[in-house]
Structure 1
Amino acid sequence: MKFENPLALENQLCFSLYATSLAITQVYKPMLAALGLTFPQYLVMLILWKEDGVSLISIARQLGQQPGALTPVIKRMAEQGLLTRNRSSADERQLQIYLTETGKAIREQVVHVQSCVFEKCGMSPEELLRLKGELDELRDRLLEDTP
Protein backbone atom coordinates (compact mmCIF):
# COMPACT_ATOMS: atom_id res chain seq x y z
CA MET A 1 0.00 0.00 0.00
CA LYS A 2 1.39 3.39 -0.95
CA PHE A 3 -0.34 6.66 -0.27
CA GLU A 4 0.47 10.15 -1.47
CA ASN A 5 0.28 11.33 2.12
CA PRO A 6 0.97 8.39 4.45
CA LEU A 7 0.18 10.50 7.53
CA ALA A 8 -3.26 11.60 6.38
CA LEU A 9 -5.96 10.44 8.78
CA GLU A 10 -8.02 8.83 6.01
CA ASN A 11 -5.00 6.68 5.06
CA GLN A 12 -4.62 5.15 8.53
CA LEU A 13 -5.71 1.56 9.14
CA CYS A 14 -6.00 2.36 12.84
CA PHE A 15 -8.48 5.14 12.11
CA SER A 16 -10.59 2.93 9.84
CA LEU A 17 -10.79 0.27 12.55
CA TYR A 18 -11.47 2.85 15.27
CA ALA A 19 -14.19 4.65 13.31
CA THR A 20 -15.83 1.36 12.32
CA SER A 21 -15.79 0.19 15.93
CA LEU A 22 -17.51 3.42 17.00
CA ALA A 23 -20.05 3.12 14.18
CA ILE A 24 -21.05 -0.45 15.00
CA THR A 25 -21.28 0.38 18.69
CA GLN A 26 -23.67 3.20 17.79
CA VAL A 27 -25.82 0.76 15.79
CA TYR A 28 -26.10 -1.51 18.84
CA LYS A 29 -26.61 1.29 21.37
CA PRO A 30 -30.35 2.08 20.99
CA MET A 31 -31.36 -1.56 20.67
CA LEU A 32 -29.36 -2.59 23.73
CA ALA A 33 -30.58 0.45 25.68
CA ALA A 34 -34.14 -0.79 25.15
CA LEU A 35 -33.06 -3.96 26.98
CA GLY A 36 -31.27 -2.02 29.72
CA LEU A 37 -27.79 -2.97 28.51
CA THR A 38 -24.71 -1.03 27.51
CA PHE A 39 -22.40 -2.43 24.84
CA PRO A 40 -19.77 -3.63 27.38
CA GLN A 41 -22.55 -5.30 29.39
CA TYR A 42 -23.77 -7.00 26.22
CA LEU A 43 -20.31 -8.47 25.63
CA VAL A 44 -20.23 -9.83 29.19
CA MET A 45 -23.70 -11.33 28.70
CA LEU A 46 -22.60 -13.07 25.49
CA ILE A 47 -19.87 -14.84 27.46
CA LEU A 48 -22.26 -15.83 30.26
CA TRP A 49 -24.96 -17.04 27.88
CA LYS A 50 -22.39 -19.38 26.40
CA GLU A 51 -21.05 -20.56 29.79
CA ASP A 52 -22.56 -19.52 33.10
CA GLY A 53 -20.43 -19.39 36.25
CA VAL A 54 -17.30 -17.95 34.65
CA SER A 55 -14.55 -16.26 36.64
CA LEU A 56 -14.03 -12.51 36.32
CA ILE A 57 -10.50 -13.23 35.13
CA SER A 58 -11.81 -15.47 32.34
CA ILE A 59 -14.32 -12.84 31.22
CA ALA A 60 -11.60 -10.18 31.21
CA ARG A 61 -9.26 -12.42 29.21
CA GLN A 62 -11.94 -13.18 26.60
CA LEU A 63 -12.64 -9.46 26.19
CA GLY A 64 -8.97 -8.45 26.13
CA GLN A 65 -9.47 -6.37 29.27
CA GLN A 66 -7.99 -6.15 32.74
CA PRO A 67 -10.25 -7.51 35.51
CA GLY A 68 -10.15 -4.16 37.32
CA ALA A 69 -11.54 -2.40 34.25
CA LEU A 70 -14.52 -4.77 34.20
CA THR A 71 -15.28 -4.62 37.93
CA PRO A 72 -17.51 -1.51 37.68
CA VAL A 73 -19.40 -3.04 34.72
CA ILE A 74 -19.96 -6.31 36.58
CA LYS A 75 -20.98 -4.48 39.75
CA ARG A 76 -23.57 -2.41 37.84
CA MET A 77 -24.94 -5.54 36.21
CA ALA A 78 -25.33 -7.16 39.64
CA GLU A 79 -27.18 -4.06 40.85
CA GLN A 80 -29.49 -4.38 37.82
CA GLY A 81 -30.25 -7.96 38.81
CA LEU A 82 -28.68 -9.50 35.69
CA LEU A 83 -26.00 -11.50 37.48
CA THR A 84 -24.51 -12.42 40.82
CA ARG A 85 -20.91 -12.25 41.96
CA ASN A 86 -19.75 -15.06 44.25
CA ARG A 87 -16.38 -15.89 45.73
CA SER A 88 -15.08 -19.25 44.54
CA SER A 89 -15.18 -21.94 47.22
CA ALA A 90 -11.91 -23.32 45.83
CA ASP A 91 -10.10 -19.95 45.87
CA GLU A 92 -11.65 -16.97 47.62
CA ARG A 93 -9.54 -14.60 45.52
CA GLN A 94 -11.52 -15.72 42.46
CA LEU A 95 -14.84 -14.07 41.69
CA GLN A 96 -17.33 -16.29 39.86
CA ILE A 97 -20.07 -14.61 37.81
CA TYR A 98 -23.49 -16.25 37.41
CA LEU A 99 -26.56 -15.18 35.49
CA THR A 100 -29.78 -14.56 37.36
CA GLU A 101 -33.12 -15.64 35.91
CA THR A 102 -33.53 -12.06 34.65
CA GLY A 103 -30.15 -12.26 32.91
CA LYS A 104 -31.07 -15.57 31.31
CA ALA A 105 -34.47 -14.27 30.19
CA ILE A 106 -33.23 -11.38 28.05
CA ARG A 107 -31.20 -13.72 25.86
CA GLU A 108 -34.12 -14.33 23.50
CA GLN A 109 -34.64 -10.59 22.98
CA VAL A 110 -31.00 -10.14 22.00
CA VAL A 111 -31.31 -12.55 19.07
CA HIS A 112 -33.46 -9.89 17.39
CA VAL A 113 -30.75 -7.27 18.01
CA GLN A 114 -28.16 -9.41 16.24
CA SER A 115 -30.32 -9.83 13.12
CA CYS A 116 -30.98 -6.06 13.00
CA VAL A 117 -27.25 -5.33 13.17
CA PHE A 118 -26.50 -7.83 10.40
CA GLU A 119 -29.19 -6.23 8.25
CA LYS A 120 -27.78 -2.74 8.90
CA CYS A 121 -24.34 -3.91 7.73
CA GLY A 122 -25.80 -4.54 4.27
CA MET A 123 -23.55 -7.53 3.63
CA SER A 124 -24.32 -11.18 3.01
CA PRO A 125 -23.75 -13.64 5.86
CA GLU A 126 -20.79 -15.03 3.90
CA GLU A 127 -19.24 -11.56 3.51
CA LEU A 128 -19.71 -10.82 7.21
CA LEU A 129 -18.19 -14.16 8.18
CA ARG A 130 -15.19 -13.55 5.91
CA LEU A 131 -14.69 -10.04 7.32
CA LYS A 132 -14.94 -11.31 10.90
CA GLY A 133 -12.35 -13.99 10.12
CA GLU A 134 -9.97 -11.44 8.63
CA LEU A 135 -10.36 -9.13 11.64
CA ASP A 136 -9.80 -12.04 14.04
CA GLU A 137 -6.66 -12.99 12.12
CA LEU A 138 -5.39 -9.39 12.21
CA ARG A 139 -6.04 -9.17 15.98
CA ASP A 140 -4.21 -12.46 16.58
CA ARG A 141 -1.20 -11.28 14.55
CA LEU A 142 -1.10 -7.99 16.46
CA LEU A 143 -1.18 -9.85 19.77
CA GLU A 144 1.57 -12.31 18.87
CA ASP A 145 4.49 -12.01 21.27
CA THR A 146 2.48 -9.65 23.49
CA PRO A 147 2.93 -10.43 27.18
Structure 2
Amino acid sequence: MVVVTNAADPVPDPLALERQVCFALAVAARSVIGVYRPLLEPMGLTHPQYLVMLALWQHAPLSVTDLSRLLQLDPGTLSPLLKRLESAGYVTRERSRSDERALAVTLTEAGRALRAEAEKIPAAVVDRLGMPLEDLQHLHAVLTEVIAATRS
Protein backbone atom coordinates (compact mmCIF):
# COMPACT_ATOMS: atom_id res chain seq x y z
CA MET A 1 0.00 0.00 0.00
CA VAL A 2 1.34 3.42 -0.92
CA VAL A 3 1.08 5.96 1.85
CA VAL A 4 1.35 9.55 0.72
CA THR A 5 2.35 12.07 3.31
CA ASN A 6 2.91 15.77 3.12
CA ALA A 7 6.23 16.87 4.61
CA ALA A 8 4.36 19.51 6.64
CA ASP A 9 1.82 16.91 7.85
CA PRO A 10 3.51 13.72 9.13
CA VAL A 11 0.15 11.98 9.69
CA PRO A 12 -1.08 10.13 6.59
CA ASP A 13 -4.45 11.26 5.29
CA PRO A 14 -6.97 8.50 6.21
CA LEU A 15 -9.09 9.55 3.21
CA ALA A 16 -6.29 9.45 0.63
CA LEU A 17 -7.63 7.59 -2.38
CA GLU A 18 -4.59 5.33 -2.68
CA ARG A 19 -5.06 4.18 0.95
CA GLN A 20 -8.61 2.94 0.42
CA VAL A 21 -9.20 -0.82 0.26
CA CYS A 22 -12.41 -0.19 -1.68
CA PHE A 23 -10.51 1.69 -4.38
CA ALA A 24 -7.85 -1.01 -4.77
CA LEU A 25 -10.52 -3.72 -4.93
CA ALA A 26 -12.63 -1.81 -7.47
CA VAL A 27 -9.69 -1.12 -9.79
CA ALA A 28 -8.36 -4.67 -9.43
CA ALA A 29 -11.79 -6.15 -10.19
CA ARG A 30 -12.24 -4.03 -13.34
CA SER A 31 -8.70 -4.81 -14.46
CA VAL A 32 -8.97 -8.57 -13.96
CA ILE A 33 -12.38 -8.71 -15.64
CA GLY A 34 -10.73 -6.84 -18.53
CA VAL A 35 -8.22 -9.70 -18.81
CA TYR A 36 -11.11 -12.17 -19.11
CA ARG A 37 -13.02 -10.17 -21.75
CA PRO A 38 -10.99 -11.14 -24.87
CA LEU A 39 -10.91 -14.77 -23.71
CA LEU A 40 -14.68 -14.91 -23.28
CA GLU A 41 -15.70 -12.99 -26.42
CA PRO A 42 -15.04 -15.90 -28.81
CA MET A 43 -17.32 -18.01 -26.61
CA GLY A 44 -20.04 -15.36 -26.77
CA LEU A 45 -19.97 -14.86 -23.00
CA THR A 46 -19.72 -11.83 -20.76
CA HIS A 47 -17.93 -12.21 -17.44
CA PRO A 48 -21.20 -12.45 -15.43
CA GLN A 49 -22.48 -15.09 -17.87
CA TYR A 50 -19.18 -16.97 -17.46
CA LEU A 51 -19.71 -17.05 -13.69
CA VAL A 52 -23.19 -18.52 -14.23
CA MET A 53 -21.75 -21.15 -16.56
CA LEU A 54 -19.00 -22.01 -14.05
CA ALA A 55 -21.64 -22.62 -11.38
CA LEU A 56 -23.72 -24.74 -13.74
CA TRP A 57 -20.75 -26.77 -15.02
CA GLN A 58 -20.02 -27.64 -11.40
CA HIS A 59 -23.54 -28.09 -10.00
CA ALA A 60 -26.23 -28.30 -12.74
CA PRO A 61 -29.11 -28.59 -12.65
CA LEU A 62 -29.82 -25.79 -10.19
CA SER A 63 -32.88 -23.83 -9.22
CA VAL A 64 -32.71 -20.11 -9.88
CA THR A 65 -32.83 -19.61 -6.10
CA ASP A 66 -29.86 -21.93 -5.52
CA LEU A 67 -27.93 -20.39 -8.41
CA SER A 68 -28.63 -16.92 -7.01
CA ARG A 69 -27.35 -17.97 -3.58
CA LEU A 70 -24.27 -19.70 -5.01
CA LEU A 71 -23.28 -16.69 -7.12
CA GLN A 72 -24.31 -14.22 -4.40
CA LEU A 73 -26.46 -12.38 -6.95
CA ASP A 74 -29.95 -11.00 -6.57
CA PRO A 75 -32.46 -13.07 -8.58
CA GLY A 76 -33.44 -9.88 -10.44
CA THR A 77 -29.84 -9.54 -11.65
CA LEU A 78 -29.58 -13.22 -12.49
CA SER A 79 -32.77 -13.45 -14.54
CA PRO A 80 -31.56 -11.39 -17.56
CA LEU A 81 -28.28 -13.32 -17.57
CA LEU A 82 -30.19 -16.61 -17.75
CA LYS A 83 -32.45 -15.29 -20.51
CA ARG A 84 -29.42 -14.36 -22.62
CA LEU A 85 -27.76 -17.72 -21.96
CA GLU A 86 -30.99 -19.45 -22.93
CA SER A 87 -31.21 -17.38 -26.14
CA ALA A 88 -27.62 -18.39 -26.92
CA GLY A 89 -28.63 -22.03 -26.55
CA TYR A 90 -26.47 -22.79 -23.50
CA VAL A 91 -29.17 -23.35 -20.86
CA THR A 92 -32.84 -24.14 -20.49
CA ARG A 93 -35.13 -22.86 -17.78
CA GLU A 94 -38.07 -25.07 -16.89
CA ARG A 95 -40.56 -25.27 -14.06
CA SER A 96 -39.51 -27.84 -11.50
CA ARG A 97 -41.68 -30.94 -11.49
CA SER A 98 -41.50 -31.13 -7.71
CA ASP A 99 -42.25 -27.43 -7.13
CA GLU A 100 -44.08 -25.48 -9.83
CA ARG A 101 -42.92 -22.19 -8.26
CA ALA A 102 -39.25 -23.01 -8.84
CA LEU A 103 -37.37 -22.65 -12.13
CA ALA A 104 -34.73 -25.29 -12.80
CA VAL A 105 -31.72 -24.22 -14.88
CA THR A 106 -30.12 -26.99 -16.92
CA LEU A 107 -27.25 -27.00 -19.36
CA THR A 108 -28.00 -27.85 -22.98
CA GLU A 109 -25.68 -30.03 -25.03
CA ALA A 110 -24.10 -26.82 -26.42
CA GLY A 111 -23.67 -25.50 -22.87
CA ARG A 112 -21.98 -28.71 -21.75
CA ALA A 113 -19.74 -28.68 -24.86
CA LEU A 114 -18.64 -25.11 -24.14
CA ARG A 115 -16.90 -26.33 -21.00
CA ALA A 116 -14.06 -27.87 -23.04
CA GLU A 117 -13.25 -24.46 -24.52
CA ALA A 118 -13.60 -22.76 -21.13
CA GLU A 119 -11.08 -25.12 -19.52
CA LYS A 120 -8.34 -23.10 -21.26
CA ILE A 121 -9.35 -19.84 -19.58
CA PRO A 122 -7.80 -20.19 -16.08
CA ALA A 123 -4.32 -20.92 -17.45
CA ALA A 124 -4.66 -18.10 -20.01
CA VAL A 125 -5.62 -15.66 -17.23
CA VAL A 126 -2.64 -16.68 -15.10
CA ASP A 127 -0.40 -16.28 -18.15
CA ARG A 128 -1.81 -12.84 -19.05
CA LEU A 129 -1.51 -11.58 -15.48
CA GLY A 130 2.13 -12.65 -15.39
CA MET A 131 2.00 -13.34 -11.68
CA PRO A 132 3.18 -16.48 -9.89
CA LEU A 133 0.34 -18.94 -9.32
CA GLU A 134 1.17 -18.99 -5.60
CA ASP A 135 0.56 -15.23 -5.40
CA LEU A 136 -2.81 -15.60 -7.10
CA GLN A 137 -3.76 -18.47 -4.78
CA HIS A 138 -2.79 -16.33 -1.78
CA LEU A 139 -4.80 -13.39 -3.17
CA HIS A 140 -7.81 -15.69 -3.58
CA ALA A 141 -7.48 -16.86 0.03
CA VAL A 142 -7.25 -13.28 1.34
CA LEU A 143 -10.23 -12.14 -0.76
CA THR A 144 -12.23 -15.10 0.52
CA GLU A 145 -11.45 -13.91 4.07
CA VAL A 146 -12.54 -10.37 3.14
CA ILE A 147 -15.83 -11.70 1.76
CA ALA A 148 -16.40 -13.70 4.94
CA ALA A 149 -15.58 -10.68 7.11
CA THR A 150 -18.18 -8.57 5.31
CA ARG A 151 -20.82 -11.19 6.07
CA SER A 152 -20.11 -11.29 9.83
Classify the TM-score, shorter chain.
Answer: over 0.9
Please say if 1:32 is aligned against 2:28. no
Structure number with the bigger relative contact order (C-alpha 8 A, sep ≥ 6) is 1
How far did 1:123 drift? 2.1
Q: Secondary structure at the match of 1:34?
A: helix
Query: What is aligned with 1:100?
Result: 108
How far did 1:65 drift? 1.0
Higher Cα radius of gyration: 2
Cα RMSD of the aligned pairs, angstroms, is: 1.4
Q: Percent identity?
A: 40
Q: Superposition pairs for residues 1-147 of structure 1, below 5 Å?
A: 4-144=12-152
How far did 1:63 drift? 1.4
How far did 1:56 drift? 0.8
Is the 2:17–2:23 contact (alpha carbons within 8 Å) kept by the matching residues of 1? yes
Structure 2 gaps of 5+ residues are 4-10
TM-score scaled by length of structure 2: 0.90
Per-residue CA deviations over 1:7-63 (Å, capped at 9, x if unaligned) read 121111001001100001110011101110010100000001011111111111111
Structure 1 gaps of 5+ residues are none
How far did 1:137 drift? 0.8
Is the 2:55–2:71 contact (alpha carbons within 8 Å) kept by the matching residues of 1? no
Distance 1:5 1:111 in 2: 45
Per-residue CA deviations over 1:77-115 (Å, capped at 9, x if unaligned) read 101100000111111111110000100111111121211
